Structure formats: C-alpha cells, structure tokens
Homo-oligomer: A and B are copies of this chain.
Amino acid sequence: MMNELIYAAPAAGVLALLYAFWKAAWVRKQDAGDDTMKEIAARIQEGAMAFLKAEYKVLAGFVVVVAGLLAWANYGGEGRSPLIAVSFVVGAIFSGIAGWAGMRVATNANVRTTAAARDGLPQALAVAFSGGAVMGMTVVGLAIIGLGGLYIAYTMGVFDITAGDAAQQYGTLGTVISVLTGFSMGASSIALFARVGGGIYTKAADVGADLVGKVEAGLPEDDPRNPAVIADNVGDNVGDVAGMGADLFESFVGAIIGAMVLGLGYDVVAEGESLSPVLMPLVIAAAGVIASILGTFVVRTKEGGNPQHALDLGAFGSAFVMAGATFGIAHFMWPAAGASVGDGTDPILWWHVGAATVIGLVTGVAIGMITSYYCSMDKRPVDSIAEQSKTGTATNIIAGLGMGMESTALPILCICFGVVGAASVAGLYGVAIAALGMLSTTGIQLAVDAYGPIADNAGGIAEMSEQDPKVRERTDKLDAVGNTTAAIGKGFAIGSAAMTALALFAAFAQTSGIADRGINISKPVVMAGLFLGGMLPFLFSSLAMRAVGDAAMDMIEEVRRQFREIDGLLEGKAKPDTARCVDISTKASIRKMVAPGLLAIITPVVIGLGGEAIQDKLGAEALGGLLAGVTVTGVLMAIFMSNAGGAWDNAKKSFEGGGYKMKDGTVHPKGSEAHNAAVVGDTVGDPFKDTAGPSLNILVKLMSVVALVIAPLL
C-alpha cells in the first residue's frame, strides 16, 4: 500500500542520525593537538555553548507562551486541534537540537582540523567535512523524523485525529496536515531568532576585533592579545553554524509542508483513492536524505588534489541522483491516471511532478551561478567595485550598493521562469515540488556550507596557538575552496525561499478559503496589505543593522578599555579578558534579537485576526496582500544585501596578496588608500551579508507559515 511509504521518512531520518553519530564519534577520536590549541578550542566551545544556553533560555519562554496561545486558539473548532501546540513545541525543540548538535561537533572539529592540517590537506579536509556532514545529517534527519513521526502519531494511537467517522477522511487528513504546520512554525521561529541573534553576535564581535584590534592597535588577524578574538571565533560558530543549521532546518521543513498542504487539493485525495500527493513530499525528502548520505562518501581528495572537485562531486552527484529518484518515486506513487485540482484543467501525470523537480534544480543552479558571478574575484562586478575604490570610500560604497541592486535582476528572472515553468507543468503543487527539489539534498549542501566556518575557525586556532605557517596556509586553502559550492548553495537557499514562500502562500489561500474568490490586488485592502508587507523587510533590516551597530559600539568600548587598563597586554605580557567580550556579545545579541523576531510573528496575526474582526474575509485578503508584499521585497532585499556584502568582501580581498591592478595599470597593494576604502566597504557589507540578508530568507517563510497556521481561524 502506497500510504505505508510514509514510514520511509522517519526510517531515513534515523539512518541519517546514525550516520551523524558515527561521524561525530570519529571526529572526537581525532587528535586535538597541543595544550595551547586545546585551551583555545575549549574557550571557543565554552563561549559558543554559553551563547546557546542563554539564547535557549529566552526562547524557552517564548515557546511556552506561543504553545499556550496556539492550544487555546485551536481548542474545539472544527478542522482544528490543540495538538498544533505539540507540533510547534516539537519543531522548536528539534530546531534547537539541530543547532546545538551542529555547534557541538563544529567546535570539536575546528581544533582537530588544525591538528590534522599539520599532517596534510586531505587529512584536514576529512575532519572539517566530517564535522559539516554531522551537522547536515542531524538537520535533515531531525526534520523528517519530526514531520514523519508526528504524521504517524496523529493518524494512529492516542493522538489519532482521524479516528471516528472514516468517511470524513479528507476533512480529518486536512486537520492532520494543518496541525503539522505547527512544526514548521516552531522550526521557523527558532530559526529566525537564531539567525538574527547569531548574526548580531558574529558581527559585533567581528567589528570590535577588527576596528580596535586590527586598525587601532595594529594587531594581525586572530592575534591572541586581542580581547575580542575569542568572541570573534565564537561568533563564526554562532552565526554560521548554529544560525545556518536552524535556517536550513526551517527551509527543508517549510518546503515539505508547503507541498503537503497543496497536495490536499487533489481530487484523488478528496475522493480517498490515494494520499500520494500529500505524502509524496515526505518520501522525496527521505530519498534526498539517502542521496546526501551517499554523496558524502565521494568527498575525499589526495594530497595535491583539488578539494573543490571533491565537494562539487558530492553535491552535484547527490542532486543528479535525486532528479532521477524523483521521477522514480513519482512513477511509483502518483496515481497512474493522474490527479487534478478540480478546476477543469488537464490532470497532472507522474512525469509532470518529476519535471517540476528538474525545473527547481535548474533554477537553483542558475541562481547559484549568478550569485557566484556577482561575488567572485576577477569578475566584472567585484572588479568594478575594486576599481571605484581608487577615488575613495564614497565611490566604493556607491559601486557596491549599485552592484547589489543590479544583482537582483537575473536571479529574479530565474525565479520567474522557475515559478511559471513549474506551475505550467504541475500547477502550484509544481512550484512547491520545485522548491523541495532544490532543497532535497540539503543534507550534503549543509555539510559543504558548514565546512566553511570549521575551516575558518581552524585557521584562527592555528594563528592563536602560533603554529607553523604552513598549517595556516593549508587551513586557508581549505577555507577558500568550497566557495563555489557554497555560492550555489546560497542560490538554492534564495530560490527555494522564494518558491517555498509562494507555495506556503498558495497553501494559505487554500486553507483560509479565499483561493476561490482570489486575492485581488486591485482591491484597496489588498493593496494596503501589499504596501505594508513590502515595508516589513526594510524595517526588519534596519532593526537588525542598528542592533549590530549598537552591539559593536559596546564591544569597541570594551576592547579599548582593556588595552587601556590591562598593563602589558599589547606587549604580550598579560592576558586579555576574553570572557568579558564573549559576555557582551552574548547579552547584546540576545537582547536585540527579540524586537525583529516578534515583528515577524505578530504582524500577520494582528492583520489577519484584526481584519477578520472588522469584516468577514477582510483579514484573509489583507493578509494575502501582506504575504505577497513581504515575499517580493524580502527576496529582493535578501539578494541585494547578500550579494553587495559578498562583492564588497571580495573587492577588499582583491587588494590582498600582490595588490590590485587597476585599468590604468597602477597597482594598489594592501594598506594603500584604495585598499583602505575597500576595507570600509567590507565593513558596511558585513551586517548586510551576515545579519540582515540571511534573516530575510527566514522572515518571508516564517510570516507565510504563521499565516498558514492561523488560516483555519480566519
């Protein structure tokens, strides 16, 4: 029976977790180097864990309050169940575990990567990538165990929502899926707080370490005399590892649930013939997890080999396998006669669903390549920013902002083609499946992504523990590769965020019952919603950026104070008070993550329920406009800010090494006027690309999923 395939989801999830345990144990067994290294690594791990503990304490209160509200609001209504609060709590906890586990293994792997780099590049790659793989598999494993497990629980045993009148199968199945959306909301809200908090943390520490330590005191990068340098390394873990883990957990879950909700609309489901349109997304996700595990086995390199090829082979190989697997799954599961959403259009056949996956994958790769083009050294965009640094900071900034804005054009065209293409083969369900197609191999993509900060940290530890320069060289090389793969991953993240948000949006329209009358933008209330939604990413970004500014100010004052008050610190005779800096970043980031986070969660509730109180369906229409607005400007601002930040970063790096050669033939080395201008550009870009930009991806999905959760109340 097809429907039993649902068990494949938690089964694959358990497999992924077993793989993660195995890899994590292997990492822990590796040599952790000399005592200095161990001590530094311990301090980084301590700081990172202290941050997570403080963060989770605040979030626990939030989770309890929201769960209570969800249970209360969904008590007793038809097609609703207070079990949604259970889904929410499980989603939040699983997201927390994913972040915690990733952080744990990353802070174990960093120092062991440094130690392995003393032996050689392949050894170091193996450790760093294994660390990333643990994170990747934990994230995807927990996601499908959670969704699959809850689905199974809600359809059998004590929690069985479908018990009773079997004729109401469709209605109760709708309730089950609706209750499952709470899982996605739990995952998304934790992800948003983690991204914002982590982003503030990492940038406050970074700016403090750079501006006072490097610029004012003239210390090199990662110098042990710099009080903020531990906080800076903690920040890399907090922002890039834990933040990214929660982010991709949220994306993966959102893409699955969006497709499941839209699957409810098919006639085969309504008539109880087959639940395949609803269950297939989970099965595809499970297949993606297996493909990712297989992919990790081909990531290995020889001394002198190019680790980039290994990573690419793993990531692309998995994606390629998945494209084929989706056709196979669809052929096996999808009703042979096809299924229709009952609007009189031709039924969708199995290969349409497969085609939508391929469209999603192609779109994702295209966006990734464009992103890579806009952020890579020696390409026109970065070069033109470097070139404009010749006439100073102002022209560098203008060029970067202009380039960031320009860089939205092609990815948006890709998204438009992806949406229209996927919809033309398989309707809105096709859009959701395309998003899921992009994200199905999240496991290995995240492994590649998380490998970056581990290698970065390994370099920092090498520097602070004063290793042989060739160790740092190897970790730098490790850090540099994987950039293309990571850029593609970023493209997948942006493209899938846009498509997932659209799928969730369509799911919201379907669930709130306004899909039939439509969300008509020529109605004034929808227009107002569109404007209001469009404004939110601007307000949200400004809150995030101001938080970074304020937190960085505190850090700057503290580092200056230590240089001033601790005798012999700059001469290396006294030790800095690194714990104090860690503490400042932790407190500031946790305090400042609250406002932007709540903005995202409360706005859709206020608009939806408030509008509904005034007039029937008014809230649903205004909320529809709001979601459309937030999705469009959120995606645009995310691309703009990420790419501007990435381009500024590499424009600065263009001056390093042998210096940058301008078109007029002059060479501008590190420390030249032009390089200094480029450094300012990079600093401006930091909160763009590491705080506001990545948070926006989550924002658009979180707001959609909140709307989806409250849809039955409208």
Contact = CB atoms under 8 A, between A and B. Distances in A.
Interface of A: 211, 388, 391-395, 397-399, 401-406, 408-409, 412-413, 415-416, 419-420, 422-424, 427-428, 431, 498, 502, 505-506, 509, 515, 517-528, 530-532, 534-535, 538-539, 541-543, 545-546, 548-549, 552-553, 556, 624-625, 628-629, 632-633, 635-636, 640, 680, 683-684, 687
Contacts of A552: 395
Contacts of A534: 412, 534, 632-633, 636
Given A412-B535, A423-B524, 5 more contacts: A394-B683, A408-B535, A408-B538, A415-B528, A428-B522
A408 to B, nearest CB: 5
A638 to B, nearest CB: 12
A527 B502 contact: yes
20 contacts: A211-B392, A397-B680, A401-B684, A409-B538, A409-B539, A412-B535, A415-B531, A416-B528, A423-B524, A423-B525, A428-B522, A502-B524, A502-B527, A519-B522, A521-B521, A521-B526, A521-B628, A530-B628, A531-B632, A534-B534
A646 to B, nearest CB: 16
Contacts of A687: 398
Copies of the polypeptide in the assembly: 2
A402 B388 CA distance: 23
Contacts of A505: 521-522, 527
A524 B45 CA distance: 46
A404 to B, nearest CB: 8
B399 A549 contact: yes
Nearest to A682: B394
A401 B545 contact: yes
B553 A406 contact: no
Closest CB pairs A-B (n = 6): A518-B520, A423-B524, A394-B683, A405-B542, A406-B542, A416-B528
A422 B524 CA distance: 9
B549 A624 contact: no
A683 B683 CA distance: 18
A11 to B, nearest CB: 34
Contacts of A521: 505, 519, 521, 526, 624-625, 628
A392 B635 CA distance: 30
A196 B317 CA distance: 48
Contacts of A680: 392-394, 397
A518 B524 contact: no
A559 to B, nearest CB: 12
Contacts of A532: 412-413, 416
Nearest to A499: B527
A43 B143 CA distance: 71
Nearest to A416: B528
A399 B520 CA distance: 37
Given A520-B518, A531-B415, A532-B416, A393 B395 contact: no
A379 to B, nearest CB: 16
Contacts of A633: 534, 632-633, 636
A542 B403 contact: yes
Contact of A419 (B403, B428, B527): B527
A357 B617 CA distance: 28
A223 to B, nearest CB: 21
A632 B530 contact: yes
A635 B545 contact: no
A495 B456 CA distance: 48
A403 B545 CA distance: 9
Contacts of A640: 538
A568 to B, nearest CB: 26
Nearest to A553: B391
Contacts of A502: 524, 527
A394 B535 CA distance: 25
Contacts of A422: 524
Given A211-B391, A408-B538, A632-B633, A522 B509 contact: yes
A683 B406 CA distance: 20
Contacts of A632: 530-531, 534, 629, 632-633
B395 A397 contact: no
Contacts of A515: 522
A589 to B, nearest CB: 16
A546 B629 contact: no
Most chain-B CB neighbours within 10 Å: which of A211, A546, A632, A636? A632
Contacts of A399: 546, 549
